[in-house]
Structure 1
Amino acid sequence: MKRSEIILIKQGDPNIYKRLVKEWFPKLCILINSYIFNIEIARDLAQEILISLWENRNKLKDDTAFDKYFYVLAKNKAFNYLKQKRYDIIDIEDYETELIKINLMEQLLEKDTLESIIMKENIQKFQTLIQSLPSNSKEIFILSRKYNLKNKDIAARLGVSVKTVEYHITKTLAFFRKNMEVFSCFIIFII
């Protein structure tokens, strides 16, 4: 977004704001949903972010980089939601259903730049790899990487030893490294 457009948002221009919402709402939904796996709640949280932006528009800096700004807000909103829900863990079947929903939401993105095409391909490859994991490894990976649970917490939750959790995480990461031709920033961030 150009500096002049940011200034117009700060001044309360509804047309620029509508354009910002149209561009960023689907992206925020996808990003938030990648953490919480509930598209309806992701939409609500994305809407809260955009409303908060409008209400606090005068606090925006003229050189705000919206990519970074929205990424941080979406991540924080998702993590706060998860903390509030005390990490209510979804079933693996729900996780698989949510991956399908993520794919549908990705189709809403209008921009097909080379970067977004590569990102979509990497996401698809990563999701396929997750689906091909044995159920124990998949569950431990999700608890560890998506919900940021510590190994000892995962072990207690699943009734296994910490060494077993460490083994599955190590095995899963090795599997991803072996099977990913392009190890994008997205994959590095998640792992």
Structure 2
Amino acid sequence: MNNTAYSRIDFFEQLYTRYHGRLVLYANKYVHDIEVAKDIVQEVFTAFWKHTEGQEFIGNAKAYLFQVARNKALNAIRDNKKLLHEADGPSAVLNEAEQSVLSNEVNPFVSLLELELEEQFEQVMNRLPQGCVEVFKMSRNDGLKNKEIAEKMGISVKMVEKHITKALRLFRKEFAELLSILF
């Protein structure tokens, strides 16, 4: 097997692993049937595989996948009008987390992104030392100045600055990939 074929397969597997679940939720937002949404996503990845055959990878694969999922979901609705009126159908079985992800009526992708950001934010916060977390929350959540934080915690202003710098450094490192995707 040549390197190009292997790279294509590897790239495809990474995309599938990363986006399959999110695409199912995204498609379900339109069709209100999780099984239909899963079928749609299967078609999306099949279309992606066929579209990239003999070509370079698509520049923004994520955007392509979500756009194709949206189009296929809308086609499914058009082809099967009853999906529009199944409010008590299989979508009622979705768990609370899935429902919250799909809560943004205007743009479900925004809800998915918000959920992912919140999860990643919590993971980073859990990796910071407790004192660093307290200082960071006082600075960012409570809007306190460094001097006020130092007085409240009984530490120097320099120590407050070190805690904030440490937290920001870790956040920049952890969110670098996500920021490069967004911007």
Return the structure number with greater relative CO, CA threshold 8 A, min gap 6.
1
TM-score of the superposed pair, with normalisation by structure 2:
0.46
TM-score of the superposed pair, with normalisation by structure 1:
0.44
- Computing the radius of gyration over CA atoms, which structure comes out larger, 1 or 2? 2
